[in-house]
Structure 1
Amino acid sequence: MLKSGIHGNACCSTCHHHLGEWVEASPAVQKFLPFGRTLTFRSFTHAPGSELHFDCHCGSLWMITKNTAMSVMIRNEVFSCFVFYGVLLVIKMYVIAIITGQVRLRKKAFANPEDALRHGGLQYHREDPYVERCKRAHINDLENILPFLFLGAIYSLTGPSLMAARLHFLVFFMSRVLHSVAYLLALRAPTRSLAYIVAQIPCVSMALQILTSVAAYA
């Protein structure tokens, strides 16, 4: 039987024995859990087809609901911190996209002829320097924020301290905000370049820590 730490609905796929809401997790269960730690699951109603499978130390195959696993991730302070800054960064990308669209309308510089015809004629099917600047700011966000979202999610599962993780996420977020402001307002160089470089530091740090965590399994 399992000895040490999970809360939640779980059952043995061999005998379908229900383990109850308060089951303690064995080392075998801990291997399944992210962060390599004993975590607390909340009780959820079992839904057919929603199981995650892992081996018990006694040789039986055990199951636990995906809803339960998601509950653990959301209740993980580091992952929740990552989600907070990740969502802010996605919102920031939407803001840059909206700004780009509004600048196009104000400058009457449309990328597609049908849009130009709708707003005055084909003479407005043209490029504008400031519209192109906004586009570059948006593209730069895509090139940097999407990798951060991947790295940050994996990094959150490696068991970093909340303080260290928050520092990584906050530095990246603030640097990207400064980078966008510097791009859109054409601030004096090297403001934009410095913001870009500073944002890469937490990304490189997270990547190295992830590789260190998984190198033994490669």
Structure 2
Amino acid sequence: MTFSASAPAEDNAEVTSHTIRDALRDAIVDRRLAPGTKLSEADVGTIFKVSRTLVRSALQALSYEGLVLVERNRGAFVASPSLEEAHQIFASRRILEPGILTLAAGRITPADITHLRALLKDEERLMDERSQSARRAEIKASGDFHLALADISGNAVMRRFMDELVARSSLVIALYGQSAISSCGHQEHERIVDHLEAGETKRAAALMLHHIDHIEADLDLRPKKSTDLKEALLKGL
């Protein structure tokens, strides 16, 4: 769907608050909208040709997911997770994902294995590219692998939790990633699928925990000391 930048006289019937939420969500997860970016209701409404009421509903939904911060008298902003929030996000993943993997192992089919390996092949292709758009796509592909495992588990509640955790992880990576791209280890993904295909559930779950540790280890989550202006400037002289 294509949206023009002209101001709407009335809501575009093709666009709902869910449409807006999903579009903004994708832009945040893909890191096209950086943490701290202001999300003006008027600007978003103009882009989608809808009223501010629909935009406000979409932003409120994203705030429930922790992706958007809505401040009274200031507006809405892409969330900027604190260090403590970042630690909590990965702590939650350590609790949830081994369980998802165990459920998935009991339901996985040859077709599921084929689908997972297709995702891995796409992820590998993106790793070989050097453009910024490919880097963003690789991060999304890494998240899609984890969401695919949640789909296979058959637990809709866990799938919704993972949807939020993967999205919030992307924000954390955008803020605290030490390298140009902080994404999941592709080889670890492959080994997890190998274990699932071989029926080695415990090994797959143990590797998932190691894998989440690996993701977090690539982030700079050390507490930052405040630096005064004089100290900051003198260091550069």
TM-score (normalizing by structure 1)? 0.34
Q: Which has the higher contact order (CA 8 A, sep 6+)?
A: 2
Q: TM-score, length-normalised on structure 2?
A: 0.32
